[in-house]
Amino acid sequence: MKKLTPRIDKERLLLGIAAPLLAIVAALVVTALVILATGKNPGAAFSDMVTYGSASDSQVYILNKATTYYLAGVSVAIGFRMNLFNIGVDGQYRIAAFFAAVLGGALTVPGWIAIPLIILCAMATGALWAAIAGVLKVTRGVSEVISTIMLNSIATAVIAYLLQPGKLAELQAGGTVISTTPLPKSSYFFQIDTGAAGVLWGFIVIAVLVGVAYWFVLGRTRFGFDLRTVGQSESAAAASGVSVKKMIATSMVISGAVAGLIGMPTLLNDSHQFSNDFPSGIGFTGIAIALLGRNNPVGIALGALLWGFLERTTNHLEFEGYDKEILGVIQGVIVLCVVIAYELVRRYGLKRQQQRVGAELAAQAAATQKQEVA
């Protein structure tokens, strides 16, 4: 995002890579120890993860999962950039996907009208749900951490109330699954059939667009600058002419709108309906991924892919006789290591910079003194 003078560029780049590298190495070591402690061979496990994870169908799986995770990560990151902790992404995307599915099931218009409508509906619902927390924060001073936790549970209740036969849902054949009316075929999002490797969801295109927009708006526009300003220092932002309250509400709404998209790949490319087993908890995954990617659009993408890779390959570990519960350990260790590593690297970088500033100034002072003497 920042254009850098080449000299500093290199060092920053090195520092930037150092943190995740450090974290992943640490996580590998811890994981290996844990596997060793259960009397199994970590080497074989890792090699299985690599070979299985690089298979073509695994790649498709990983990309599909990463599409969803990426959107979740970006949604959370928008809040993070503002120092807002939007735990409510989870509720926002679920309620958004629900209403979008209801709308999609009811629409009978051609796909090129229906799909944008469904997506807009999802974004609007997510934004509205997030706006509750935003408004409460700016008008009543309610911490968004608490209000979004509450709103998550309330969203669950609202969905439970409406997702019932006779209300906005119907009972599927077999009598065990309740879902909204399935979308008509015309409202399916395009997808790429890769043959044996499976089907790649077309929504990945939207995810990429969201990433580009995130990068562009934040880094290149006045609005993005204002948003980042508030995130770095509310007091400086207010003094610089940003309306902090308006900004908090706005970014909460935007975060919610992006959260609304999280359920869309699943809805439009996969399940085509909202049922009682619609994936939940992705909002929390998004938090981990945003942390991992350091709120950077490319970083989040890498985090999302890593998460997909881990899920895919640890699933298969069970097949090889390992305990797939190792996944949770790896994920937890990675996130913890990453945040610590970033902090260490950040501190080191700051120190380096201050040293350099000091050295530079000393050099300048020496130079001027010499001139005076001469």
Partner 1 sequence: MTATMTDTPPPAAPKADTEGTRSGRPLGQILMIVAGALLLVAAVRVITGSDQLTSEGQVSAALGLAVPIGLAGLAGLWSERSGVVNIGLEGMMILGTFGAGWIGWQSNPWLGLLCGIGFGVLGGLVHAVATITFGVDHIVSGVAVNLLALGITQYLAKIFFSEGDAADAGGNPKQSPPVDSLPNIDVPGLSDALKSLENHHWFLISDLAGILGGLVTDLSVVTLFAVLLFVGSWWLLWRTPFGLRLRSCGENPVAAESLGVNVYKYKYAAVAVSGGLAGLAGAFLALVTSHTYLENQTGGRGYIGLAAMIFGNWRPGGLAMGAGLFGYSDALQLRNGGETVHALLLVLVVLLALLGGWKLYRKAHWQGGISLFVGALVLLWYLFTDEVPNDFVGATPYVVTLLVLSLSAQRLRMPKADGMRYRKGQGK
Partner 2 sequence: MRGITKRFPGVVANRDIDITVRTGTVHALCGENGAGKSTLMKILYGMQQPDEGTITVNGERVTFHNPADAIARGIGMVHQHFMLADNLTVLENVVLGAEKLYGIGAKARTKIKEISDAYGLNIRPDVLLEELGVADRQRVEILKVLYRGAKTLILDEPTAVLVPQEVDALFDNLRELKAEGLTVIFISHKLGEVLSVADEITVIRRGTTVGTVEPAGTTPKQLAELMVGSELPTPETEESTVTDVPLLQVDKLHLTQTDLDGVERIILDAISLTIHKGEVLGIAGVEGNGQSELVEAIMGIRHPDAGAITLDGTDISHAPTRRRREAGVGYIPEDRHRHGLLLEAPLWENRILGHVTERPNSRGQLLDIKAARTDTERIIGAYDVRTPGIDVTAASLSGGNQQKLIVGREMSHAPKLLIAAHPTRGVDVGAQAAIWDHIREARREGLAVLLISADLDELIGLSDTLRVMYRGRLVADADPATITPEELGSAMTGAATGHLEHTEASGPETTEDDAR
Partner 3 sequence: GSTSSEQDSSSSASSDSGKDGGIKIGLAYDVGGRGDRSFNDSAARGADKAEKEFSGSIKELTAKSSDTEADREQRLTDLADAGYNPIVAVGFSYATSVDKVAAKYPKVSFGLIDSVATAKNVDSITFTEEQGSYLAGVAAALKTKKDHVGFVGGVDTPLIKKFAAGYVQGVKDTNSKVKVDVQYLTHGSDLSGFASPDKGKEAASGMLDNGADVIYAAAGSSGNGSIEAVSGVKGAWAIGVDSDQYNIPGLAKYKNSILTSMVKNVDVGVYDFVKSVQDGKPLTGNQIYSLAKGGVGLATSGGFIDDIKTQLDEAKTKIVDGTITVKTTT
Q: Which does 252 bind (CB under 5 to 8 A by kind): partner 2, partner 1, partner 3, none?
A: none
**For residue 10, what are its two tokens?**
């290199």
38 binds partner 1 (CB under 8 A): yes
Sole window of 4-12, 51-59, 258-266, 321-329 interacting with partner 1 (rule: CB under 8 A): 321-329
Does 8 engage in binding with partner 2 (CB under 8 A)?
yes
- As measured in angstroms, the least distance from the Cβ of 233 to partner 2 is 6
Q: How distant, in Å, are the alpha carbons of 98, 183, 193, 257, 295 from that of 278?
A: 9, 15, 23, 19, 27
| Residues in 88-107 that interact with partner 3 by CB under 8 A | 94
Cα dihedral 246, 248, 252, 258 sign: positive
**Which amino acid is residue 52, in one-letter code?**
Y
Site for partner 3 contains 266 (CB under 8 A)? yes
Helix (H, G, I), strand (E, B) or coil at 107: coil
Q: Which does 173 bind (CB under 5 to 8 A by kind): partner 2, partner 1, partner 3, none?
A: partner 3
319 binds partner 1 (CB under 8 A): no
What 3 state SS string does 260-321 have?
A: HHHCHHHHHHHHCCCECCCCCCHHHHHHHHHHHCCCCHHHHHHHHHHHHHHHHHHHHHHHCC
Decide if residue 143 touches partner 2 (CB under 8 A).
no
Per DSSP, what are the bridge partners of residue 171? 178
Length of the chain: 374
Contact flag: residue 312 with partner 3 (CB under 8 A): yes
Beta bridge partners of 191: 201
Determine which residue in the list 225, 323, 324, 336 makes contact with partner 2, applying CB under 8 A: 225
- Chain centroid to Cα 58, Å, comes to 21
- Cα angle vertex 315, ends 313, 320, to 5°? 85
User: Which residue lies nearer to partner 2 by CB, 39 or 241?
Assistant: 241
* 71 near partner 1, judged by CB under 8 A: no
In the numeric block, which tokens belong to residue 224? 């993005």
Of 81, 64, 93, 74, nearest in space to 281 by CA: 93
- Given partner 1, partner 2, partner 3, none, residue 136, with its beta carbon under 5 to 8 Å by kind, binds partner 1
**Burial (Cβ within 10 Å: 0-12, 13-18, ≥19) of residue 236:** exposed
Q: Does 215 contact partner 2 by CB under 8 A?
A: no
294 binds partner 2 (CB under 8 A): no
Closest distance to partner 1 from the beta carbon of 131 (Å) = 14
Pick out residues in 325-344 that bind partner 3 (CB under 8 A): 325, 327
Choose from partner 2, partner 1, partner 3, none: what does 374 bind? Cβ within 5-8 Å by kind: none
Write out the residues near partner 2 by the rule CB under 8 A: 2-5, 7-8, 219-226, 228-229, 232-233, 235-236, 238-243, 350-351, 353-361, 364
